[in-house]
A and B are shown apart, each in its own frame.
Chain A
Amino acid sequence: MTVPGIDSVDLTTPSASADPFSVFRALREGDPVHWSEAHRAWLITRYDDVSAAFQNKAFSNDRVRPVLERKRQAGAESAATGVLGLMTGWMVVNDPPVHTRLRKLAAGAFKGQRIAAMDEMITRIVDEHLDAFLRGSGPQDLISEVAYPLPATVIATMLGAPPEDRDRFREWSDELALVAFGTGGAARADRHERALRGLREMESYFHTLIGKRRAEPGEDMLSALMAKEGDDRLTDDELVGMCALLLFAGHETTTNSIANSVLALLRHPDQLDRLRRDPALIGPAVEELLRFDGPIKVLNRWVVAETEVRGKTIRPGERVHLVLASANRDPEKFADPDTLDLGRSPNPHVAFGKGIHACIGAQLARMETRIAVARIVERLPGLALAEEPEWKDVLASRSMEKLVVTHS
């Protein structure tokens, strides 16, 4: 089945980045399991199919190892293979049983964190950033001033890094993203080299921090990650990888979750009013904001066994894109999917994924987004959009360059 316009669908053009939802609608209606030449991948856009794909064992998360092996076979042992080596150990790019073991060890550490203490810590960090924001006047970027620094500081604090080191976590997070996703342009090779040097530094930083915690365990998550689960524990190299993954997986996503939420509220003044009148709505409100315009558009899977989805044969070696942002707007699952309704319930969105890889940081991410959005709404009563935001032309994430607002 072909539909005019769908054959050349490319989700990374400026117009598709500005309004991906109409492209998703066309795909859902016209060709819900679509082979895209532009992406060299299958685009799966309906809720039921995305949902089933999370349980389908023909789809694998083991995506980095093949790249690394190709590079190694080409005889290129370099800084890049070093960082890829670190990433190959991440649970998010592994299937069971490797995944199962890492996930269990990490879940134990998340479980040990005290919710009330986290709540207090996040509120304090949010308020510090908002204090600085309120001292400024005129149009300011809410992303660079609040949404961007917050999650890196939270993760650094949770890992027990000294406060003076927290800025470096942001740089490392950017460098990890650069190596993981790459960037275009002439500056590419140069920036790549610098990122790789930065990440070497990150590895030795985490090794030192681990050494300190081994000698003197604390209440922090790194100390909890070191603990034994039965007779198993993470090695130092695995701990370094885990720290890097928590930073990488929890930074940009949370930044965009906060920024996209604020934008959606500014575009729906009735819903913003509703939240101001009823702050207790923040829980379901954040779920709805994640559904409506969550930070992840697309997740990748490798195909490792032949499988059929909606009558299309998908073959080993091919790639599949699970379009979360489309599934979350599927009218078969959500009534009036393009309406933002902060009280929506039930709200089984897939912004955090589903199945064995479902976001392990979801509780933390929810807490950060709830506190940040609630505090922004409360402390900036005059909040208004100062310029039209521009969306980054990236496939994986739904991400603005800046969110420039005024507050009085």
Chain B
Amino acid sequence: MRIGVDSEVCEAHGQCSIVDMDLFPLDDDGYSAVGPDREVPEGEEDTAKLGVDACPVRALKVLS
């Protein structure tokens, strides 16, 4: 599974990072540092989905 953030859309709500700060790191200003395409470690797919859903502005996507 791969996830990514659209940094044009991210507004630094930090809700993704509350779900899991390792899967959804933030930069120093609170914006998502997930990057455009990141691999989700095996076994963490459900958490990744929760984090993607937690974003109030839908900046995060499951890519595959």
Check if A55 sits within 8 Å of B29, measured CB to CB: yes
**Interface locus among A127-135, A168-176, A343-351:** A343-351
Which of A54, A104, A110, A349 is close to B56, meaning CB atoms less than 8 Å apart?
A349
How many chain A residues sit at the interface, stated as a range, is 20 to 34
- Residues in A with CB closer than 8 Å to B17 are 358
Check if B30 sits within 8 Å of A54, measured CB to CB: yes
Check if A362 sits within 8 Å of B57, measured CB to CB: no
Check if A111 sits within 8 Å of B20, measured CB to CB: yes
Which of B13, B18, B57 is close to A360, meaning CB atoms less than 8 Å apart?
B18
What's the Cα separation between A55 and B30 when bound, in Å? 7
Which of A111, A115, A358 is close to B13, meaning CB atoms less than 8 Å apart?
A358
A356 interface contact, C-beta 8 A: yes
Which residue of chain A has the shortest Cβ distance to B30 in the bound complex? Answer: A355
Which residue of chain B has the shortest Cβ distance to A96 in the bound complex? Answer: B28
Which of B11, B12, B19, B30 is close to A363, meaning CB atoms less than 8 Å apart?
B19
B15 interface contact, C-beta 8 A: yes
Check if A348 sits within 8 Å of B29, measured CB to CB: no
**Segment 6-22 of B: residues with Cβ below 8 Å from A:** 11-15, 17-22
**Segment 345-402 of A: residues with Cβ below 8 Å from B:** 346-350, 352, 354-356, 358-360, 362-363
What's the Cα separation between A104 and B20 when bound, in Å? 11
How many of chain B's residues have a CB under 8 angstroms from any CB in A? 19
B2 interface contact, C-beta 8 A: no
Cβ distance B27 to chain A, nearest Cβ, rounded Å: 11
Which of B11, B12, B18, B21 is close to A362, meaning CB atoms less than 8 Å apart?
B18
Check if A355 sits within 8 Å of B54, measured CB to CB: no
Cβ distance B44 to chain A, nearest Cβ, rounded Å: 10
Which residue of chain A has the shortest Cβ distance to B13 in the bound complex? Answer: A354
Which of A54, A104, A350, A358 is close to B18, meaning CB atoms less than 8 Å apart?
A358
What's the Cα separation between A390 and B63 when bound, in Å? 49
A81 interface contact, C-beta 8 A: no
Cβ distance A124 to chain B, nearest Cβ, rounded Å: 22
Check if B18 sits within 8 Å of A287, measured CB to CB: no
**Segment 277-299 of A: residues with Cβ below 8 Å from B:** 287
- Residues in A with CB closer than 8 Å to B58 are 346
What's the Cα separation between A356 and B30 when bound, in Å? 6
Which residue of chain A has the shortest Cβ distance to B23 in the bound complex? Answer: A111
What's the Cα separation between A327 and B50 when bound, in Å? 26
Q: Apart from A54-B30, A107-B18, A363-B19, what 9 extra A-B contacts exist at CB < 8 Å?
A: A287-B56, A348-B13, A348-B56, A348-B57, A354-B13, A355-B14, A358-B14, A359-B18, A363-B50
Q: Could you list 6 A-B pairs, sorted by A, with CB under 8 Å?
A: A104-B21, A346-B57, A348-B11, A354-B14, A358-B14, A358-B30
List the 5 closest A-B pairs by CB distance, nearest first.
A358-B14, A348-B56, A355-B30, A346-B57, A348-B57
